[in-house]
A and B are shown apart, each in its own frame.
Chain A
Amino acid sequence: MLRYLLRRVLIALPVLLGISIIVFTLVVLQPGDPYVSMIDPNASPEQKAELLNRVGYYDPLWVKYLKWAGRAVTGDLGYSIQYGAPVSQIVASRVGNTVLLAGSALAITLLVALPVGIFQGLRRDTGRDLIISILSFVALSVPTFFLGMLLIKIFAADLRWLPSSGVVTVGADASGFAGVVDVARHLILPALTLATVNIAVCSRYLRTGVSEILGLDFVRTQFALGAKPGEVLWGSVLKNAAKPLITIISLEIPALLSGALLTETVFSWPGIGRLNFEAVQNRDYALLMGIIMFLAVITVVANLLADVIYAIVDPRVRVAR
């Protein structure tokens, strides 16, 4: 197991290196530069050239990359051009919000999708299964931003139950329990928006998994031998049906952490997605590279984690290697 892990980690290193080179090249080759908004539009081209020269903008691509990579391996991701603050500090200030939103959305997803998916698998092709399936397809096809706006319209504008933007009520300075409630109230709408699509996806997988395994010989044999339905369901069916979920969730974690740009934008949620988008627009190379490498590491780790969990859940995976 340890050797297996070690090998996987060693494979991950060149992958990260490759990602950094490709992304860096793509980012730097974009037209435009990070200083357009910082320099007086009336400044002469010579003045601008002088400034760009001083900050190393005219260095060849590979020099720029080596400068960046040299610092990055020591853990120094540099300074954001636009914020004038260390990249790691800026990213860290947003990660908490993204984790909160993503974690809540994932929790809601599992809480709803597990019972719904299992129910559908057990009652496949009944009227209730059909109704839930239709609802799932609706959830899958409604664009996130539209759903977000719709929820804002209903719960914030019409009913005035919930706030429509931000993480806290600004100016209220709530702390302690009141602070937690305040954040939670701001969290409900974006988390629901983000969870809706995922609920539909996960419950579809579970439905298929459960109903397929129910028809397999070993399950039918257990029933034939008189095993209690509950035992078969928990002992055999779910354990097997849940396996695809491991893959889905481990792929979902990096996707959720990379920030849900649309959801974050609609709800003015200060997460990684918005930061990333802003960094691209401003050509803030240092910040952009910092975010992308952070996400690359998360993705690699999540995949690794999925492999490990698989190896634990399914002994055949371990043997095969």
Chain B
Amino acid sequence: MPSRSSKALLAAVTAAALLLTGCVNTAAGETPGTGGKTAASANNGTLRYAIWSNPKGTFNPLLYFTDYDRAVIFNVYSRLVVLDEKQGYQPSLAKGFEYSEDGRTLTFTLPTDVTWHDGKPLTAEDVAFTYTATADPAFPLDTPEFAQQLSGFEAYHSGASTTLEGIQVVDPQTVAFTFDKPYAAALSYFADRPVLAKHVWEGTPVAQWNDATELLTHPVGTGPFVFDKFVSDQYVSLTRNEKYFGGAPKLGSLIFKVTNAETAQTQLINGELDVAELSSFNRADLDTYETAGVKIVEQTGTSAQYLTLDTKNPKFADERVRQAVVTGINRQGIIDSLLYGHGTLFNTNAHPKDPYYPASGIDDYAFDPKRAAALLEEAGWVDSDGDGIREKGGERLTLTLNFPTGNKTRELSAPIIQSNLKDIGIDVQLVSADFNSTLAILQNPETSFDGVLMGGSFRPGQYSNNHWWERYESPALTTLATEFNSTIDDSARKKAVGEWLTEINRIALRAWLYIPNVGFAVSPTVTKFTPYPYETFNGVNEWTVKG
């Protein structure tokens, strides 16, 4: 008995030693090619791109809801139009697009030679099929605003009509979308929702799409990469589409590896990863990358953090109190200390780089405790008992700040906000909970609250007049929104959106905090990685990685 167990121990130790030495042969940075293809322009490399959470395997462009599924979908499928660097729309899968004179009809022309990954040709029927599904009464998610704008939506959605008037196949290469009134945000929808293959999905009723595991996890698209396999919680691998209409990718394969941000740095340096989003702009981290030769690519972020205030709550119904909150928070200080300066301030419900963001006439709510104090006093909140906290009519000015866990910077910003607001006489209580619980506060219109820290992504060309998280509605905003939602004329839209954003800024609908920059750590073996906001995979077919 003792000899047996010691033999086993010996065997284990030997095996471990073998494994340890074995690894020297398969050293870091190894990138095996795919097959023996020797296309002159191709380098056949495998690029491993880090993602922080498992994709849900919802590889259907209409149903995905995580950024990780989106990354896979945007490489497997293609979109009619894509965004350029200036947030303008460029034809991609479509050869071209054109608005009718009255701005109600948008017509796309398609190329004749694009095929799906399974070899079938792409036609206008595929496009019509894709977007008709969003108006289907059985569509498994909420009906997109886009679908509701289509002519004949009501009739089709209620079942009164079996065809959707607003989507017409003109000929195999032409498809037309008609809206009840000019709908400028349509292009933004097309840039976000790629085209599905009709022959793949038509056999499954729309109501069952969300449960069609086989179809969802084996996407067939027209994009630069062909889906290879999805190993849940480990990786998604894609291989080059030789027939990609934009030119065959130079990479042999693109792999999305599920991993965690804490060890990403080690993995990049160790050669287990090629591209990873930075989790912090900490100088020490950046130095470590630099020493290892890892490149840092930085761009303006598209997702913003803000403090949502309940405007129905008597304490925050007065816009002066909300203005005081924005002015009283040292937002630049948060950017400097928590993001090491890698962030942008914003002062209304749009990205400062948005072409319609007002160039002038909006309050920058620069950090100014004196101004904040004056605003509060004007609103009737005074510290009458000298305890440092203001009162009005016997009620103390308290703010319960709910914030979700999971975003380090956001968590750390809460105590800074607490101390800033204390200085102007607001007593802030911090309450943290998991993301889902915190979001539930905002999602239920019946719930009253003080303030919630939340974040969200801006979507270019989309300006939502839905302020129900803030429990806010105003005729002034609605009039402006109706105005810009019923024209596609750029200058008219710019003016109306600008006025709408200015009004939102004036009433301090939210306490806008910061927009963190997005950085990527890129292995020195990778070239042509040139993302810009909203289009991380811009020019992915040109990317290379040295073996």
Contact = CB atoms under 8 A, between A and B. Distances in A.
Interface of A: 30-33, 36-45, 47-48, 50-51, 79, 82-86, 89-90, 93-94, 107-108, 111-112, 114-115, 149, 152-153, 156-157, 160-173, 181-182, 184-185, 188, 234, 265-268, 270, 274-275, 278, 281-283
A169 B263 CA distance: 15
Contacts of B20: 161-162
A111 B142 contact: no
Interface in B435-452: 435-437, 439-441, 443, 445
Contacts of A47: 142-143
> Which 10 pairs, one residue from A and one from B, show the smallest C-beta to C-beta distance?
A32-B436, A270-B233, A171-B46, A32-B440, A43-B142, A85-B213, A157-B266, A42-B464, A31-B440, A31-B437
Contact of B23 (A162, A167, A170, A265): A162
B6 A115 contact: yes
A41 B433 CA distance: 19
Of the candidates B142, B144, B234, B440, the one having the most CB atoms from chain A within 10 angstroms of its own CB is B142
9 contacts: A32-B434, A111-B8, A162-B23, A166-B259, A169-B272, A173-B32, A266-B263, A274-B233, A281-B435
Nearest to A97: B233
Contacts of B260: 165, 265-266, 268
A45 B469 CA distance: 10
B57 A157 contact: no
Of the candidates A111, A168, A265, A267, the one having the most CB atoms from chain B within 10 angstroms of its own CB is A111
A98 to B, nearest CB: 11
B489 interface: no
Of the candidates A42, A47, A185, the one having the most CB atoms from chain B within 10 angstroms of its own CB is A42
Interface string B211-235: 1110011000000000000011111
B439 A165 contact: no
A265 B262 CA distance: 10
B1 interface: yes
Nearest to B1: A234
Contacts of B235: 166, 170
A161 B25 CA distance: 10
Contacts of B434: 32, 281
A36 B443 contact: yes
A276 to B, nearest CB: 12
Contacts of B6: 115
B272 A164 contact: yes
B92 interface: no
A82 B436 contact: no
A2 to B, nearest CB: 31
Given A32-B436, A82-B56, A114-B5, 18 more contacts: A31-B437, A33-B440, A37-B66, A39-B142, A51-B141, A79-B211, A94-B232, A108-B12, A149-B262, A153-B266, A157-B269, A165-B272, A170-B237, A171-B48, A234-B1, A268-B258, A268-B263, A270-B231
Interface in B186-222: 210-213, 216-217
Interface in B225-262: 231-235, 237, 253, 255, 257-260, 262
A278 B54 contact: yes
A129 B54 CA distance: 46
Interface of B: 1-2, 5-6, 8-9, 12, 15-16, 19-20, 22-24, 26-28, 30-32, 46, 48, 53-54, 56-58, 65-66, 141-145, 210-213, 216-217, 231-235, 237, 253, 255, 257-260, 262-263, 266-267, 269-270, 272, 433-437, 439-441, 443, 445, 456, 464, 466, 468-469
Contact of B439 (A36, A114, A157, A173): A36
Contact of B57 (A36, A85, A152): A85
B266 A164 contact: yes
A41 B456 contact: yes
A283 to B, nearest CB: 6
Nearest to B207: A54
Nearest to A43: B142
A34 to B, nearest CB: 8
Given A181-B19, A281-B435, A169 B26 contact: yes
A65 B235 CA distance: 34
Contact of A84 (B2, B213, B435, B443): B213
